[in-house]
Structures are given as C-alpha cells and as structure tokens.
C-alpha cells in the first residue's frame, strides 16, 4: 500500500505527463511538451518498475501509444491514431497504478490538474497544423459573408402564375422571376394566378389569387 506522499507525487508526475502531451499537440514539433512528457513518464514508470509495481508489458503499451501519437502529428489522419495512442497510454497508466478505482481517481485528478494549467497557458503557445484542424477558430457569421439561405422578403405580396402544379410544392413565375414555391396546403393547378403570402428563409409560400 502506497503512502499519501508517494501517491501525490505520482499524481503530479502524471499531471506533468498529460500537460506535456497537450502542449505538444498545441505547438506541434517545438519539442518542449515532448521533453516535459518524456521526463515525467520516465520518472513515473522508472520508479514503479524499480519497485516491481509495473511490468515491461505495461511500459510497452505506453510506448506504443506514444508512437501512435507521434505518427498522427507527423502525418495527420482523421485522429484515429491519436485516439488509439491516448487510449493505450491511459490503459497502461491505470494498470501501472494498480488497476483499481483509486488508480482511476488518481488519473482523473492528474488530468484535471493538467487541463487547468494548460488552460492558463494555452493562449501563449503557438498552434500546430494538427491543433488548427482539431479546433475551429473561424465562425460563419453574416458579417463574414456567410448566409444560411437567401431570404426573398421583397416578394411578399407579389403576384404571379404557377408554372407547374403545386402539390403543394412546385415552381411559379413571381414578379417576372421563376422561383420555387409551396402552397399553403391546397392543390394549385398549372397556370393559376398566385400571390406570395410569406417568406421564411428559402421557403416561399403562395396561395391562389382570387
């Protein structure tokens, strides 16, 4: 049974490991995060291996996870390798800590510390191509020229003629322009005079003109 001091040290080492991983994802190749994570991982697994608390299999699984992440960063795919790498690392760490619920709790605590520290420094770090792919920076606003659909509100009240049968959708010639329209629900025959009663986005609603 490990004492509280030893467990706190293990949690801090894991927090540094996770922080290094997140920094490397953010910076993509500067090596600062990688060195930080490798050092923390070396101390964590090395100390536990010396104590006989971890096997070479668990270390091998961890290194395989690291390899997957490295490959993902060098040749970004859809994130599958990164996901497998993180899963392998977490699996090895949990079992290196004993594979109990206490191990999971320590892992969660370390991750929370790492995320908190990362949130404090993230804006000061340069962004890698992989990070920019994972995080959306631009918003599709109207000011940027993005519109979900052209709204033809100026057609409200305009009259025209059905070019096709409306069952209830079809086409009509309104104000001299061919447009896709929909009736209020009633069937409207081809050639029938119509009037536009409402426009909601790209949906132009007409009724038969009396």
Q: At what angle do helices 4-27 and 56-74 cross, to 10 degrees?
A: 20
Class of domain 153-208: mainly beta
The dihedral built from the CA positions of residue 70, 71, 74 and 80, taken in this order, carries a sign that is: negative
Q: At what angle do helices 32-50 and 4-27 cross, to 10 degrees?
A: 150
Q: What is the pLDDT of residue 28?
A: 62
Q: What is the pLDDT of residue 150?
A: 60
pLDDT tens by residue, 75-131: 656 567 778 888 888 888 888 888 788 888 888 998 899 889 888 877 766 554 544
Whether the full predicted model's pTM is greater than 0.75, yes or no, is no
Give start and end residues of each alpha helix (H) in the chain.
Answer: 4-27, 32-50, 56-74, 80-96, 101-121, 129-134
Q: How far is CA 17 from CA 61, 111, 120, 138, in A?
A: 16, 9, 17, 30
Structural domain boundaries in the chain: 4-134, 153-208
How far apart CA 190 and CA 35 sit, in angstroms, is 74
Q: Which residues of the chain have pLDDT under 70?
A: 1-3, 25-26, 28-32, 73, 75-79, 124-151
Q: At what angle do helices 80-96 and 32-50 cross, to 10 degrees?
A: 30
How far apart CA 200 and CA 138 sit, in angstroms, is 27
């Amino acid at each position: 049974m490990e004492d509280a001091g030893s467990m706190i040290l293990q949690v801090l080492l894991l927090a540094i490991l996770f922080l290094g991983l997140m920094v490397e994802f953010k910076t993509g190749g500067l090596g600062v995060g990688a060195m930080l994570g490798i050092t923390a991982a070396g101390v964590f697994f090395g100390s536990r291996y010396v104590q006989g608390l971890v096997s070479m299999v668990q270390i091998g699984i961890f290194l395989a996870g690291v390899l997957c992440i490295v490959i993902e960063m060098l040749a970004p795919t859809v994130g599958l390798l990164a996901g497998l790498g993180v899963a392998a690392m977490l699996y090895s760490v949990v079992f290196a800590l004993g594979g109990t619920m206490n191990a999971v709790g320590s892992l969660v605590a370390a991750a929370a510390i790492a995320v908190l520290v990362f949130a404090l420094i993230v804006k000061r770090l340069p962004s890698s191509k992989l990070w920019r792919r994972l995080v959306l920076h631009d918003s599709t606003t109207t000011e940027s020229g993005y519109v979900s659909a052209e709204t033809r509100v100026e057609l409200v009240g305009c009259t025209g003629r059905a070019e096709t049968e409306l069952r209830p959708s079809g086409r009509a010639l309104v104000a001299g322009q061919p447009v896709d329209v929909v009736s209020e629900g009633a069937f409207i025959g081809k050639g029938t005079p119509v009037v536009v009663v409402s426009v909601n986005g790209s949906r132009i609603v007409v009724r038969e003109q009396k």
